[in-house]
Amino acid sequence: MESLLAFVVGGLYAGGIYLMLRRSMIKLIFGLVLLGHASNLLIFTVGRLTSDQPPLVPDGAETLTEPFADPLPQALILTAIVIGFGMQAFALVLVKRMFLTARTDDVHAITTTDTF
Amino acid sequence: MNNLLFMPIVIPLITAICLILLWRQRVIQRLVSLVGCVSLFLAAALLFSFVAPGNVLAIQAANWPAPFGITLVADTFSALMVLVAAFMGLSVAIYSLATLDPERESFGYHPLYHIMLMGVCGAFLTGDMFNMYVWYEVMLISSFVLLTLGGERSQLEGGVKYVTLNLLASTLFLIATGMLYGTMGTLNLADLGERMRQPETLSDLQLGLMTTLPILYLLAFGIKSALFPLFFWLPASYHTPPIHVTAIFSALLTKVGIYSLVRVFTLVFIADTDFTHTILLVIAGLTMITGVLGAVAQMEMRRLLSFHIVSQIGYLLMGLGLFSPLSLAGTVFFMVHVILAKSALFLVGGVLHRVAGTYDLKKLGGFYRSSIMLSILFFLPAFSLAGIPPLSGFWAKFALVRAGLELGQYAIVTAALAVSILTLFSMTKIWAEAFWKAQPPGKVQVDADQISRTLASGQTALPLLLPIVVIAALMVIIGVAADPVLAISQQAANQLLDPTDYINVVLHESASLANSP
C-alpha cells in the first residue's frame, strides 16, 4: 500500500510541476493544487497506512499495541487542507482578476514589473 | 507572567476583529488601529523586559504538556524580534495615515495589517514546526491581499509572481514538515533540539535524513526570505503596492524567513554543520552580490531599494553560516539595524513621491536645496545601510566581518566588504540624483514652497515625518551607544548556540511554571 501511494504522490508531483512550467496561468494554479494534494498524501503516508487499527488503548492495557495509525499526521492534513483551500481560492480569484485586466492567460505577457 | 506570551498574538487578533466590525468607519478604524499598534508595542516591550535579563519564557496552550501541545516560547532573540516588529508596526501604521487612499482604506487595509502583524508575531514566538507553518500562512494570506489591494495592473502582475512562488514555498515547507515528523516523530522544536543533541540515540538513517531535510527547509525558507537564487519574486512585486505596504513588507516578511532559518539551523539541524552551514555561507555570499548588482542597475527608487533587501539578506545569512557566537550576535544586531534602515529608506522614498509625484531618479532632483531636513532623514538610514560609522550599520557589519576574519573565512569577508562599497555607491546614486542634482527642467517642479506646503500642513507632515525621525534617531543612538544592543545580541547568540535553557523551559519546567499562579 505504501509503495502504491508513493507512486501516486510521485505522479502528482510530476504532474503539478509539469503544469506549473506551462505558460498558462490557470495551469499554474492547477499545478499548485496538485502539489498541495501530493503533500497531503505524503503526510498521510507518514502516519502509517493501517486499516481497522484505531489509535485507542485497549481495555486493561497501558499503551497502544502495534500496528496503529498515527492520528497526528491526519490532524496536520486537516489543517493543511483547509489552509490550502483558502490559498487556492485566493489564487484563482487573483488569476481571474489578472485575466480581466490583462486579457491574456499567458505568463510571458505579464512582464511589466520585471522590465525596466 | 507567562500569559504575556499570548499577548503579541491576541492583541492584533482582537484589533483586527474590531476593525472588521467597524468596516468603512474610517475615522474610528484609524483610531482603533493606532490603539492596537500601541498596545502591541507595549506588550512586546513588557515581554522583552522579562526576557532581557536572560530568562526564557514558555507556555503550553491549554496546558497540554510539551511535546504534545502547542508551545509558545520567547528567548532573547524572539522577544527582540517581536519588539522590533511591533515598533515597525506602530511606525508604519502612523505613516500610512498620511499615505492611505480612501478606497484601499475602505476595503480592509487596517484589519489585514493587524492580521499580518499577528502572523509575524506568531511565527517569532512559536515553538512548534507545524504551528510555524500555520503562522506563515496567516502572514502570507494577509500579505497577498495587502499586496494586491487596489487591483492596479502592476499590483496584479506582481501579485501573481509573489503568490505563486510563496505558495510553492509553503508546499515545500509542508512536505519538509511531514518528513520531519516521519523521521523524528515530533515537531516540537525543543524536543527536536534535545534529541539532536543526543546523537547516540538516533539511528544512522535518522541522522542522514536530518542532514538532508535541512536542505528542503532551506529551499522553503529560502524562497520566503529571498535568498539567491530564489529571490526573483521580490524585486518583481515589492515595488507595486503603495509605499507603506512595501515598507512594512521589507521590514518584516523576509526577516521572518531569516528568523526561521536561524532558529532551525541553530536548534535542530546541527547534525553536520560543516556541510549545511558551508552551503549557507556560499548562498549568503551570492545573495549579497547578486542583490547589490541588481540594485546598481536600477534607476527607480523602489526597485533599487527592493534589490537592496535581497543584498542585506545575504549579510543576515552570513552570520548564520559562520556559526560562531560573534557571528550570530552580528546577525541579530544586523537584523535590528536592517529592519530600521530599510523601512526608513522606503518611508523617505514615499515622502519624495508625495512631493514630486515620481519614484524615477532621473526625474527627481533638487531636494537638498529645498529641504535640508528631508536630506538628513535620507542621509542617516542610507549611510547606515552602507555601514558608515558611527551609525548602526557599522557595528553590525563590524561584528560580522570580525567573526569572518577570526574563522579565516576570507572569501565571504571580501564579498561583504565589496558589497558594502557597492551599497554605498548606489546610496550615493540616490543622493546625487534625488537630492544633490539640480532639478531637471521641464519635469515636475519641486520648490521649497511645495515641500513646505506638503510638510507643514500638520495633518500630513506629522504622520509622514514622525516615524522617520524616530527611526533615524534610533539608528544614531544604536550607533553611538552600541554596547547595550551588542550585549543583548551577544546574549541572544549565546542562547541560540547553547539552547539548554530553551529546551529545559519548554520540556521540563513549563508544566510546573504554567500551573504556578
User: Would you call B152 exposed, middle or buried from its count of C-beta atoms within 10 A (0-12, 13-18, 19+)?
Assistant: middle
User: Would you call A24 exposed, middle or buried from its count of C-beta atoms within 10 A (0-12, 13-18, 19+)?
Assistant: middle
A114 CB near a chain B CB, below 8 Å?
Answer: yes
Chain A residue numbers with beta carbons less than 8 Å from the beta carbon of B182 are 46
Asked if A28 and A107 count as a contact pair (C-beta separation under 8 A), the reply is yes
Mean pLDDT check: name the lowest of A67-71, B88-92, B392-396: A67-71
Cell 505568463 -> residue: A107
Instruction: Report how far residue B352's alpha carbon sits from residue B437's, in angstroms, rounded to the nearest whole number.
Output: 14
With CA atoms as reference, report the closest residue to B356 among B342, B339, B373, B371.
B371
Mean pLDDT check: name the lowest of A67-71, B194-198, B223-227, B430-434: A67-71
Chain A residue numbers with beta carbons less than 8 Å from the beta carbon of B154 are 112-113
Higher pLDDT: B454 or A58? It is: A58
Q: What is the mean pLDDT of residues B433-442?
A: 80
Domain boundaries, chain A: 2-50+70-109
A2-50+70-109: CATH topology is Helix Hairpins (1.10.287)
How many domains does chain B fold into?
1
Tens-place pLDDT, residues B122-154: 999 999 999 999 999 999 999 999 999 988 888
A112 CB near a chain B CB, below 8 Å?
Answer: yes
For residue B514, the model assigns a pLDDT of 42
Tens-place pLDDT, residues B2-42: 888 999 999 999 999 999 999 878 899 999 999 999 999 99
For residue B511, the model assigns a pLDDT of 45
Higher pLDDT: B455 or A12? It is: A12
Q: What is the mean pLDDT of residues B413-438?
A: 91
Closest chain A CA to residue B141: A87
Question: For residue A38, is pLDDT > 90?
Answer: yes
| Distances from the Cα of B118 to the Cα of B4, B37, B63, B97, B414, angstroms | 14, 11, 22, 20, 39
- Residues near A88 by beta carbon (within 8 Å), at least 6 away in sequence: A29, A32, A33, A36
Mean pLDDT check: name the lowest of B366-370, B404-408, B412-416, B452-456: B452-456
Tens-place pLDDT, residues B235-274: 999 999 999 999 999 999 999 999 999 999 999 998 888 8
3-state helix/strand/coil string of B191-231: HHHHHHCCHHHCCHHHHHHHHHHHHHHHHHHHHHCCCCCCC
Q: Do the Cβ atoms of B156 and A80 come within 8 Å?
A: no
- Average pLDDT over chain B reads 90
Asked if B321 and B277 count as a contact pair (C-beta separation under 8 A), the reply is yes
Question: Strand, helix or coil at B126?
Answer: strand
% residues pLDDT > 90 (chain B): 68
For residue B39, the model assigns a pLDDT of 96
Q: Do the Cβ atoms of A73 and B181 come within 8 Å?
A: yes
- Average pLDDT over chain A reads 88
For residue B454, the model assigns a pLDDT of 65
For A32, which of B141, B164, B179 is closest by C-beta distance? Answer: B164
Question: For residue B456, is pLDDT > 90?
Answer: no
Q: Which residues of chain A from 90 to 109 reach within 8 Å of chain B, CB to CB?
A: 90-91, 94-95, 97-98, 101-102, 107
Helix segments in B22-128, DSSP class H: 26-51, 76-99, 102-106, 109-125
For residue B513, the model assigns a pLDDT of 46
For residue B512, the model assigns a pLDDT of 45
Tens-place pLDDT, residues B102-116: 888 888 899 999 999
Q: What is the mean pLDDT of residues A54-81?
A: 85
Cell 499615505 -> residue: B99
For residue B451, the model assigns a pLDDT of 66
Chain B residue numbers with beta carbons less than 8 Å from the beta carbon of A35 are 168, 171
Helix segments in B387-457, DSSP class H: 392-406, 410-430, 448-456
Instruction: Report how far residue B180's alpha carbon sits from residue B299's, in angstroms, rounded to the nearest whole number.
Output: 44
Instruction: Place B510 in a pLDDT band, splitting at 50, 70 and 90.
Output: low
Instruction: Place B61 in a pLDDT band, splitting at 50, 70 and 90.
Output: confident
Buried b (16+ CB within 10 A) or exposed e, B191-228: bbbbbbeeeeebeeebeebbeebbebbbbbbbbbbbbb
Question: For residue A37, is pLDDT > 60?
Answer: yes
Instruction: Place B68 in a pLDDT band, splitting at 50, 70 and 90.
Output: confident
- Provide the CA B403 distance to its chain's centre, in angstroms: 22
Q: Do the Cβ atoms of B163 and A91 come within 8 Å?
A: yes
Q: What is the mean pLDDT of residues B412-439?
A: 90
Q: Do the Cβ atoms of B148 and A80 come within 8 Å?
A: no
Instruction: Report how far residue B489's alpha carbon sits from residue B485's, in angstroms, rounded to the nearest whole number.
Output: 6
**ipTM of the shown complex:** 0.94
| Distances from the Cα of B158 to the Cα of B140, B254, B304, angstroms | 14, 16, 16
For residue B516, the model assigns a pLDDT of 41
For residue B63, the model assigns a pLDDT of 83
Q: Provide the residue range defining the domain that includes B435.
A: 2-515
Higher pLDDT: A73 or B446? It is: A73
User: Would you call A59 exposed, middle or buried from its count of C-beta atoms within 10 A (0-12, 13-18, 19+)?
Assistant: exposed
Buried b (16+ CB within 10 A) or exposed e, B11-39: bbbebbebbeebeeeeeebbebbbebbbb
For residue B85, the model assigns a pLDDT of 96
Which of A45, A68, A113 to mutate: most B Cβ within 10 Å?
Answer: A113
Tens-place pLDDT, residues A77-116: 999 999 999 999 999 999 999 999 888 888 888 887 777 5
